Amino acid sequence: EVQLVESGGGLVQPGGYLRLSCAASGFSFSDHYMDWVRQAPGKGLEWIGRSRNKANSYATDHGSSVKGRFTISRDDSKNSLYLEMNSLKAEDTAVYYCGRVRRGYDLGSYVDSWGQGTLVTVSS
Amino acid sequence: DIQMTQSPSSLSASVGDRVTITCRSSQTISTYINWYQQKPGKAPNLLIYAASSLQSGVPSRFSGSGSGTDFTLTISSLQPEDFATYYCQQSYSSPRTFGQGTKVEI
């Protein structure tokens, strides 16, 4: 069974730093791309970024609102995905989800498994 | 960035109704669109990928269609467990943007 468990959320002051983790199990983590998606309270889903696999040089993409502040990385030896968040702002307050990406020829890509999410609150 | 615009933002429906949600992209995305369902306090759940492919385990009352810039999610006969918020997402290019969501209410 695919399992994704996020951790590391909490209360942080504006301008602060936080590192989220996503522990994966039940599938071959190293073969998969992984996404981060967030949801501010009462708002919609926002795509944060993507981590590609070793075969694609571990390349990453980041969404416009977090580019330059957030960094996605992974450690295949630990089956873990990370999101380092710097210069946090009040508008970064959200539940952060990690998701396993599936891809196929002419199918694009999509997240077929999600973690339960971890809440990040940015406030003084 | 590609903008995804869903309509309506919310709708009221009854059990047994046929429900249609539309999503329009700001530029052509072929069939690279996914649909997710989300219930309060829960993670999203994949319903449809690549515009019309039904995710394993998803009831057949859910279907998707469209290509280019205009897409539709249809629930053929609304069930009590279908009251939720639905999101489209394009996977044509980065950033992989979501629509703003459509809340389906009783």
Residue B93 confidence (pLDDT): 95
| DSSP line for A58-103 | T-EEE-TTTTTTEEEEEEGGGTEEEEEE-S--GGG-EEEEEEEEEE
Instruction: Encode pLDDT of A91-104 as tens digits.
Output: 999 999 999 999 98
DSSP string, B15-69: TT--EEEEEEESS--TT-EEEEEE-TTS--EEEEETTTEEPTT--TTEEEEEETT
Residues of A in contact with B33 (CB under 8 A): 108
**pLDDT above 90: residue A16:** yes
Determine contact: B25 vs chain A, CB below 8 A: no
Q: What is the pLDDT of residues A37-94, one digit of tens each?
A: 999 999 999 999 999 999 999 999 999 999 999 999 999 999 999 999 999 999 999 9
Calculate ∠ Cα A41-A45-A49, nearest 5°. Answer: 120
Give the contacts of B53 (CB within 8 A, at least 6 positions apart).
A107, B64
Q: B62 — contact with chain A (CB < 8 Å)?
A: no
Pick among A4, A39, A56, A110 to test the B interface (most B CBs inside 10 A): A110
Q: Are B83 and B105 in contact (CB under 8 A)?
A: yes
- Band of the pLDDT at A105, cuts 50, 70, 90? confident
Q: Give pLDDT tens digits for B29-44.
A: 999 999 999 999 999 9
**Mean pLDDT for back-to-back runs of 10 residues, chain B (106 residues):** 98 97 98 98 98 98 98 97 97 97 96
Q: Given this model, what pLDDT does residue A106 score?
A: 86
Q: Report yes or no: B72 and B64 within 8 Å, Cβ to Cβ.
A: yes
Pair A94, A40: CB distance under 8 Å: yes
pLDDT at A56: 93
What's residue A123's pLDDT? 97
Question: Is A111 close to B53, i.e. CB distance below 8 A?
Answer: no
Q: Is B44 near chain A, with CB under 8 Å?
A: yes
In single-letter form, the type of residue at position B40 comes to: P
